[in-house]
Amino acid sequence: MVRVASEADFSELAELFEALGFEQGKGWSERAQQESSSENSSRGAAFLAPLGNLELVYGRLPADPPLLIEVTALDEIHTAVKTWLMGRPEGAAGGISEPTLTDWNARLFTVELRPGLSVAFWQSENPLHNRPMAIEGDLSAAGRRFAIVAARWNAVITDRLLQGALDALLRSGCARTDVEIVRVPGAWEIPSAARTLAETGRFAAIITLGVLLRGETAHYEAIYNEVARGIGQSQQETGVPHAFGVLTCETLEQALDRAGLKSGNKGFEAGIAAIEMASIQEKIQMENGRVSTAVIEVGS
């Protein structure tokens, strides 16, 4: 929360943040009942930052303006602020400095909206600055390609799993044209199709979907073990994440529960796991320049 000196400063800053694309949160306004002096009224304007951190500073502030905003794309923000300033009736009256290196390993520019009202934007030059402790995937599927391998055996269930997986991908921003669906006869055939798709190098992740019913499957354990081993091996040897959405159930009723009835939709869960793993894979590669894999199991 930042207290500003006047209503004019309040409006000026609010306009600037709106122009920079900050999403507006719920503001508030409070007026004293008896007196109308501005001393007795207050207003808040909220701007939502998708990622934020609270920084306590003891001693001198690292720069002059009391309002220091850390950003991750300083040059783009600089251009946006400049454009906004030029569009004001008074133009870039107060002035905007060029981004310059500070003595605390950051680049910073200051914009003076008018005398006495300045804001500084800065970006750390340390690539590890404010990095979370763990690498975590995001859940955006936009711009990534996915393949789904779905068995036709027990289609009444696998169709629902497929619907769930597609739902996860499309609702997470994946384009329909970026999803390739391959139908195979049964669970036994999933690993070879998954491996062929993974080896093309065209997909960020593969989603495998099938249902094995213990009561109806001869050599159930042997088939299940082989399917799981084959999918895991394809993932490990190609480096492409494979989400495991092969259900192993005692009965058809149990399988139905896991395909959209009582126990969620394991196809949807496999879709989300694939999206997350695709993102994690990308981040690990960016950080370390190498590929890592992990087993994702959502079935059983």
Binding stretches for ligand DLZ (CB under 6 A):
151, 153-154, 185-189, 210-213, 216-218
Q: Which of 273, 230, 268, 6 is nearest to 117 (CA)?
A: 6
Which are the catalytic amino acids?
219
CA atoms of 81 and 110, how far apart (whole Å) = 10
Please compute, for residue 241, the number of CA atoms within 13 A of its CA located in the half-sphere on the CB side: 28
Q: For strand 117-124 and strand 28-31, is the pairing parallel, antiparallel, or unpaired?
A: unpaired
CA atoms of 52 and 23, how far apart (whole Å) = 13
* Closest residue by beta carbon to ligand DLZ: 186
**3-state secondary structure (DSSP) of residue 48:** strand
Q: Is the Cβ of residue 109 or residue 188 nearer to ligand DLZ in the bound state?
A: 188
**3-state secondary structure (DSSP) of residue 183:** strand
